[in-house]
Amino acid sequence: MVELTFDPAEARAAEKPQDPRRASLGRLILTDRFFKLLTRAAAAFVLLILFGVIFTLVEGSIPALREFGPGFVWTEDWNPVKERFGALAPIYGTLVTSIIAMLVAVPIGLGIAIFLTELCPIWLRRPIGTAIELLAGIPSIIYGIWGLFIFAPFLQQYVQPFLISTLGNVPGIGWLFAGPPYGIGILTAGLILAIMVLPFIASITRDVFETVPPVLKESAYGLGATTWEVVWKVVLPYTRAGVIGGIMLALGRALGETMAVTFIIGNAHRISGSILQPGTTISASIANEFVEALQVLHTSSLMSLGLILFVITFIVLAAARLLLASLNKRAGG
């Protein structure tokens, strides 16, 4: 008696050699599936980088955080010999240099963007715009070496004595400009950061300004508005989210910037009221000490600094991206 069974796999196998077309189609489908999986894995890899960074930093920070607890964040000590570490001075330096950079670079960057979109003759717009974008790509170590050899001596000789003798005597803010002119220090680092993020702010805000529909500007001009009124009452309100997003993106850069600052901050682990004195930032501390750190606690404290820096910049950059995305959505819809 013949058993009547039907095995689909066997049937397919039996069918295949008779139908080369189906076989090659099957191969194509398999390859396609493989390729799709491969690309998906690569996309997931980007997420893996992020988790890897967070995991490594947290894991490296554990010894320091176990030893010092949350007090690590608000302790000023930094003494590798006694193995006492606290993050306050680098955090303070990072924030103050970035604030100085933003105070200087934002108005100038916006000025450049306004100049490029409203005032500059058309034939000059592309060359200047391109030059600014190229400058945004210059590595930070170039700004660092320039700051160390040219800018800091210049400040020390001409600008800082002037600041000390004038603003240094103003009651209320005099303490900001106290002490001898070192050249290097918090103020110099802030100014170099400002010069560094300037092309960045200028080119982003210019791009954002260009998303304003010409009709809006033309109708304002048509009603007799001056250029300034168009900028202030039409362009800026329309692009507010994008401009703030661009500024925060630049802030993210300034906070994490390493080489330009390391050259000229002076690397002193202390908080001085005067912005003319040397200080340190998170990234400068890591760059200077990590290779030489011998004790576990020292290395781990530097890792904790890296973790703090990453968390701060992550928040700032995420906020910046969300703001820029909201502008894009409006421009698209």
Partner 1 sequence: MDRGLYRRRILRNRFHMTMAVATAVFGLTWLVLILAMLLIKGIAGLNLAVFTEMTPPPGSSGGLLNAIVGSLILTTLGVLIGTPIAILAGTYMAEYGRHSKLTDVVRFINDILLSAPSIVIGLFVYGIMVRPMGYFSGIAGSVALAILVVPVVVRTTEDMLLLVPSQMREAAAALGAPRWHVIRYVSYRAAKTGIITGILLAIARISGETAPLLFTALNNQFWSTSLLAPMPSLPVVIFQFALSPYEDWQRLAWTGALLITIAVLTLSIVARLLSSKRTV
DSSP secondary structure string for all residues of 178-205: -S---SSSHHHHHHHHHHHHHHHHHHHH
Instruction: Report, in Å, the least distance between residue 286 CB and partner 1.
Output: 6
Instruction: Give the distance, in angstroms, between the CA of residue 101 and the centroid of all CA atoms in the same chain.
Output: 13
Nearer to partner 1, 117 or 274 (CB): 117
Kindly state whether residue 291 participates in binding partner 1, applying the rule CB under 8 A: yes
Nearer to partner 1, 75 or 227 (CB): 227
Kindly state whether residue 19 participates in binding partner 1, applying the rule CB under 8 A: no
Instruction: Report, in Å, the least distance between residue 226 CB and partner 1.
Output: 4
Nearer to partner 1, 165 or 219 (CB): 219
Radius of gyration of the chain (CA): 28
Residues 156-215 that bind partner 1 (CB under 8 A): 195, 198-199, 202
Kindly state whether residue 103 participates in binding partner 1, applying the rule CB under 8 A: no
Nearer to partner 1, 86 or 109 (CB): 109
Kindly state whether residue 71 participates in binding partner 1, applying the rule CB under 8 A: no
Q: Which stretch binds partner 1 (CB under 8 A): 7-15, 24-32, 79-87, 164-172?
A: 24-32
170: amino acid identity, one letter: V
Residues 29-48 that bind partner 1 (CB under 8 A): 29, 31-32, 35-36, 38-47
Kindly state whether residue 235 participates in binding partner 1, applying the rule CB under 8 A: no
Nearer to partner 1, 250 or 276 (CB): 250
In angstroms, the CA 219 to CA 222 distance is 5
Q: Give the 3-state secondary structure of residue 48.
A: helix
Nearer to partner 1, 103 or 150 (CB): 150
Kindly state whether residue 149 participates in binding partner 1, applying the rule CB under 8 A: yes
The size of the interface with partner 1 (CB under 8 A), counted in residues, is: 90
In angstroms, the CA 281 to CA 188 distance is 13
Q: Which stretch binds partner 1 (CB under 8 A): 71-79, 84-92, 207-215, 256-264?
A: 256-264
Q: Which stretch binds partner 1 (CB under 8 A): 70-78, 212-220, 226-234, 272-280?
A: 226-234
Kindly state whether residue 108 participates in binding partner 1, applying the rule CB under 8 A: yes
